[in-house]
Amino acid sequence: MDKCIFCEIASHNIPADIISENDEVMAFADINPATKGHILVIPKTHSTNLFDIEETLLSKVICLAKRIAKIMPEVLGCSGVNLFHSAGKIAWQEVMHFHLHIVPRYSRDELRRPFVSTSTNKDELKEIAFSLAKRLSQNNINH
């Protein structure tokens, strides 16, 4: 099997423009930035995506993302950020090592929302919310 590129970056075996790291998490510049200052935050140990990352580690990834996002307006001159994560190939995930994108947003950037709202009827919304809530409460009992 091919080596995981982000495991290699986490181990310093291949270079990246690292902006922060500790024993557990790392942040570095995306090689193909969507906007100026696009950063990726990863756990150093391999998880594939949101489906398998351990929750404490996930919270460390998110906290680092928050600290980076907070300084972006001052350092980069952006006016906001998007955080995004793709879980699964169907959701456009290309690198199969968990990563959170921090994409700084500028008043005249070219980014557009990739989706439009679908029309869903109110009964269906209720049904979906009910099914998810029911399953979630079963999980919480077993947690």
Contact 11, 22 (CB under 8 A): no
4 binds Zn ion (CB under 5 A): yes
CB atoms within 10 A of CB 56: 8
Residues in contact with 111: Cβ distance below 8 Å, sequence separation at least 6, in sequence order: 34, 35, 82, 103, 105
Options 28-36, 73-81, 108-116, 120-128: segment touching ligand 5GP (CB under 6 A): 28-36
**Triad 51, 66, 113: Cα angle to 5°:** 70
**Which of 2, 23, 94, 110 is the binder for ligand 5GP (CB under 6 A)?**
94
Q: How far is the CB of 26 from ligand 5GP (least distance, A)?
A: 11
CA 15 vs. chain centroid, Å, equals 21
99 an active-site residue? yes
Examine residue 35 and tell whether it contacts ligand 5GP (CB under 6 A).
no
Among Zn ion, ligand 5GP, none, the one that 32 touches (CB under a kind-dependent 5 to 8 A) is ligand 5GP
Q: Which residues would be at the binding site for ligand 5GP (CB under 6 A)? A: 5, 16, 28-32, 40, 86, 92-95
